[in-house]
Amino acid sequence: MLDLTLLILAAGKGTRLKSALPKVLHSLAGKPLIEHVVEAALPLSPSATCVVVGHEAQQVQRALAHLGLEFAVQQPQLGTGHAVQVAGGFWKHRQGDLLILSGDVPLISARTLQRLVDQHAQSNASATLLSTRLVDATGYGRVVRDAAGAVERIVEHKDATDEERRLSEVNAGIYCFSIPDLAQVIDALSAANSQREFYLTDCIGLLREQKKRIGAFLCEDAWEVSGVNSRSELAELERIVRRKKLKQLMEDGVTVIDPESAYVEPSVQVGPDSVLYPNVFLEKGTVIGASCQIYPNVRISASKIGDGVVVLDSCLIAESHVQAGSQVGPFAHLKSNTVIGSKARIGNFVEIKNSRLGDKTKAAHLSYLGDAEIGQDVNVGAGTITCNYDGVSKHRTIIEDGVFVGSDSQLIAPVTVRRGAYIAAGSTIDQDVPEDALAIARSQQVNKEHWARKKRESRRKE
């Protein structure tokens, strides 16, 4: 078993993204770039992990605080070699090997890293770098090999001759170094190059000059080692991740009407025979059951949807749970831990927040239900509003099983409507309603006979 220490370079600004947000915090498939990198390396069980931060260091550290890693601060950022120098206190005294990853190469897989590390261990090399072949290698460092095919050095695109630029094998920015060997050359780097930076890549040439053995592990899947340097590269990777996810879902029995316009994060699960229509967004670990239909323009985030649920067009469902056989939408908004029972119906323009609705309950049109506890078989009439907020605090509305709430009623919380009661349409309810009672809370109607006709006649005379 290799003694592996992990160093992730993440101090760069990402100038080409033209962003106030540090590059490694830009999101790919719902997660910051750097989290993808950390997750890929975890299965290799490194004995310690350090992230080199610099540009907006505190912001990056805060974003990674939950992962329990170490940090080294590189200020100013004078290149990838300088980043490794600055972190010397973290790695130089350790035994074994140093795996160096780039915070901006997010799609690297644990499998490829394992193969790189295995080859490194078996070949007894001083350094093993990860390379790949690209049709368009613009911007990448090229791997220069000698006549015998052994790795000689890496030349950065900006420093390369035309002939070197024609080389298609590129450096992925991922390396495994023997710690004592790297320690010997890391301080010998020079910034005498076109970017006036200390290149980590020069360590390869320096080790080679010392007759050390250099290996390269060629990664067949070029996309795995694509770096993110611009917004278009970010979009390109997003597309790759998305396609892969949709392909997997389709293999698992999900119908995706148009894979070009379905957006499903890798953390999401969808059961077989479910159908995803165009422009559906499924995010943040959402779990969709079997045989569901998710119609166009729906976004579901951090939610659970039971089997056989139909979500009609243009709904937003966040942090909520819809149980089996229910129908939601069109144009419904569920949020903040809302739970909808089974075989329920939530219709047009209904907003439900932090509420629980029982099985077979209906709220079919134009309602706001907030902080409510609603039982089974309840009919919530069109336009019903829970008045849950008094300007200072939120209050609960309780509606028990079998209640019928007439249209355009307001329920002023805290208030309880007991089992089987009726609320007359247009009522403003501010007192509890007993079981099986009828509550009418609206002003009495007065009909003034002939009033309208007389009004018209008097106008005509003027």
Residue with tokens 């349409």: 425
Nearest CB to Ca ion, comparing residues 229 and 348: 229
* Segment 347-350 long-range contacts (CB within 8 Å, at least 24 positions apart): none
What backbone torsions phi and psi does residue 295 show, to the nearest 5 degrees?
-75, 175
Stretch binding ligand UD1 (CB under 6 A), from 99-107, 145-153, 206-214, 412-420: 99-107
Q: What character string, x for contact with ligand UD1 (CB under 6 A) and - otherwise, covers 46-85? A: ------x-x-------------------x--xxxx-xx--
Of 59, 109, 184, 229, the residue at the interface with ligand UD1 (CB under 6 A) is: 229
Helix (H, G, I), strand (E, B) or coil at 435: coil
d(CA 434, CA 421): 7
CB 215, min distance to ligand UD1, A: 16
CB 182, min distance to ligand UD1, A: 14
Of 30, 32, 106, 141, the residue at the interface with ligand UD1 (CB under 6 A) is: 141
173 belongs to the binding site for ligand UD1 (CB under 6 A): yes
Nearest CB to ligand UD1, comparing residues 220 and 251: 220
105 belongs to the binding site for ligand UD1 (CB under 6 A): yes
| 128 contact, one of ligand UD1, Ca ion, none, CB 5-8 Å limit per kind | none
107 belongs to the binding site for ligand UD1 (CB under 6 A): no
Q: Which of 157, 321, 365, 395 is catalytic?
A: 365
The set of residues, in sequence order, having a beta carbon less than 8 Å from that of 51 and lying 6+ positions away, is 7, 8, 10, 34, 38, 60, 61, 64, 69, 70, 71, 72, 103
Q: Does the annotation count 120 as an active-site position?
A: no
In angstroms, what is the C-alpha Rg of the chain? 31
Of 71, 90, 91, 140, the residue at the interface with ligand UD1 (CB under 6 A) is: 140
Residue 273 DSSP class: T
Q: What character string, x for contact with Ca ion (CB under 5 A) and - otherwise, covers 209-228? A: ------------------x-
d(CA 287, CA 282): 9
Tokens of 63: 């974003």
11 belongs to the binding site for ligand UD1 (CB under 6 A): yes
Residue in 10, 5, 36 with CA at minimum distance from that of residue 225? 36
The set of residues, in sequence order, having a beta carbon less than 8 Å from that of 243 and lying 6+ positions away, is 259
- Kindly compute the dihedral angle of the four CA atoms of residues 286, 292, 294, 299, in this order, to the nearest 10 degrees: -20
Element (H, E) at 311: strand 310-311
Tokens of 345: 């119906």
Stretch binding ligand UD1 (CB under 6 A), from 97-105, 309-317, 381-389, 393-401: 97-105
Please report, as ranges, the residues that interact with Ca ion according to CB under 5 A.
104, 227, 229
Please report, as ranges, the residues that interact with ligand UD1 according to CB under 6 A.
9-12, 52, 54, 74, 77-80, 82-83, 102-105, 140-141, 154, 156, 170-173, 199-201, 227, 229
Q: Where in the sequence numbering do the catalytic residues fall? A: 365
